[in-house]
Amino acid sequence: MNWRVGVARLALALAPMAALAADVPGADVPAASAPADAAPIVDYGLFGHLHLSRPGGAIAHTVLLVSDRDGWSARQDALAAALAQRGAFVVGIDLPAYLKRMQAIASDKCSYPAAHFEEVAHWIERHEGLADYSVPLVVGDGAGATFAYAMTAQAPAGTFEGLITLGWDDSLRFAKTFCPGDAGAMTVADRNVFRVAPLARFPLPWRPQPFARDARLVGLGAVLAPAWRFVGTLWPPLAEPDAAAGLARTYARWRARTDAAASALPDDVADLPLIEVEPTAAATTPPRIAIVLTGDGGWAGLDRGVADALAGQGVRVIGFSTLKFFWQKQTPEATAQAIARVVAHYAKGDANARFVVIGYSFGASLVPVVVNRLPEELRRHVQEGVMISPDDEAVFEIHVGDWFGSTHHDEAVPIAPEIAASKVPLLCVHGVDEDDSPCRKAQPPMRAASLPGGHHYDGDYAALGALIVRDLSAPQP
């Protein structure tokens, strides 16, 4: 084995040791809720049986718990129950059952499990009737930890809240490679199969627990486990707790820190799913503010990438999660009223502020519909609308089936008449590989621009941001 690979694997196994030292019993852990209710097993697609554990109260947070290589067991039941007692809605996934089905998909040259896990999170939360979508936290146990590391790294940033891993199984292998994500390749060839490889920079928050009690630990880190346990006998705060209790404490701290880090929005927009991104370069004069209506995956991937690119050009960005807003059915008028509140709030500080309303995919089709319905006193602040890979119609509710292809909805609004009636200039951006894009039929007041790639623009979000900034700076026809 190449020594650099060995060092990388060792670093991957040992990365959390400092974090482990902080995970000791303490008064900062919130009290557990009432015992959770166990739900009947439900079946879903590639996953087969989903093992559900509900919290005693209202569901606010979702956890996807991935089992070890032996499948769902009493250990996973205990872990799930402990998480549910801390307020989590736990969706248990049998790893070997899922892998058997995933790797049997003959049409795929590479595997994309991140899409399957995002899909099941959307479906189960809709199935359970959650009032608001909860971005799931992923917890992996043993081989499930190794798998979850690769799967979450593959997903666009923001798809999952983060990752907690118990143990590690360096012997886990896959018949197919994983498709690369924005963070790069997370699997590499190992003879005629593929194994998980450490990334130089893991793209989401990660709380590894390699020496969790009774967790499978296979690889270079395993030789250090006895030494770590011996240290625990000398310093009791580091002693391994019961596995379920230890995970519950780690999860409680995760929730406390995440909630503390969340910034409160001003009262007049506090009920809207907004994300504020401040400029990272000198702000433009007059101030320029971009309202980004996300794709139906929420504040993730391309939306974040474009926001970062715009912020780097001095543009303030207000993200608007369509996944959260349209989780419940809306109307064109209610949607326009929500965006009007955003414009009114952020224009209060400067009457000269100029807005651009940007949408991607699901959000792109909303742009002309929303802008046309803004009150005139607010619409005059809008310099331009930008549609990135729109559909032919605007939809006002998240439909789980739409993630598998375009579907017509009876209450959808065709965007062609909305574009023709627009009182602000519109820019329609499409990938050169998007043959059926509405942008290819551009007529005034809409102009078209293209970039390399397809619906995801080959991950070059900086190019998207630069194109938008150039267009905003150019004289309008």
State pLDDT tens for residues 384-398: 999 999 999 999 999
pLDDT band at 93 (very low <50, low <70, confident <90, very high): very high
Lowest mean pLDDT among 69-73, 107-111, 382-386: 107-111
> What whole-number distance in Å separates Cα of residue 283 and Cα of residue 344?
20
pLDDT band at 97 (very low <50, low <70, confident <90, very high): very high
Structure confidence at residue 351 (pLDDT): 82
Structure confidence at residue 477 (pLDDT): 58
Mean pLDDT of 59-76: 95
> What whole-number distance in Å separates Cα of residue 146 and Cα of residue 150?
7
Mean pLDDT of 243-263: 90
State pLDDT tens for residues 424-444: 999 999 999 999 999 999 889
CATH class assigned to 3-261: alpha beta
Would you call 133 helix, strand, or coil by DSSP? coil
State pLDDT tens for residues 329-342: 999 999 999 999 99
How do beta strands 37-38 and 48-54 pair?
antiparallel
* Count of CA atoms in the C-beta half-sphere (13 A) of 384: 22
State pLDDT tens for residues 347-394: 997 888 999 999 999 999 999 999 999 999 999 999 999 999 999 999
C-beta separation of 153 from 332 below 8 A: no
| Percent of the chain at pLDDT exceeding 90 | 68
Burial status of residue 416 (CB atoms within 10 A of its CB: 0-12, 13-18, 19 or more):
middle
What is each CA distance from 282 to 75, 287, 288, 356, in whole angstroms? Answer: 53, 10, 11, 18
DSSP 156: P
Question: Which tokens sit at 25?
Answer: 């019993």
Mean pLDDT of 73-89: 96
State pLDDT tens for residues 304-315: 999 999 999 999
Q: What's the whole-model pTM score? A: 0.84
H/E stretch holding 165 reads strand 162-166
What is each CA distance from 106 to 99, 110, 142, 414, in whole angstroms? Answer: 13, 10, 27, 37
Fold equal for 3-261 and 267-473: yes
Structure confidence at residue 13 (pLDDT): 45
Best mean pLDDT range from 259-268, 279-288, 386-395 = 386-395
Structure confidence at residue 19 (pLDDT): 42
Q: Where are the domains of the chain?
A: 3-261, 267-473
Structure confidence at residue 57 (pLDDT): 87
Would you call 12 helix, strand, or coil by DSSP? helix
Structure confidence at residue 41 (pLDDT): 77
C-beta separation of 415 from 381 below 8 A: no
Structure confidence at residue 400 (pLDDT): 74
State pLDDT tens for residues 153-196: 999 999 999 999 999 999 999 999 999 998 899 999 999 999 99
Mean pLDDT of 451-465: 92
In this structure, which CATH number among 1.10.3720.10, 3.40.50.880, 3.40.50.1820, 3.40.50.720 belongs to the domain 267-473?
A: 3.40.50.1820
Calculate helix-pair angle for 143-154, 95-102, nearest 10 degrees: 50
pLDDT band at 260 (very low <50, low <70, confident <90, very high): confident
Q: Helices (H), strands (E): how many in the chain?
A: 15, 22
Mean pLDDT of 37-51: 81
Longest dimension (CA), the chain: 75
State the average pLDDT for the chain: 86
Burial status of residue 262 (CB atoms within 10 A of its CB: 0-12, 13-18, 19 or more):
exposed
Would you call 250 helix, strand, or coil by DSSP? helix
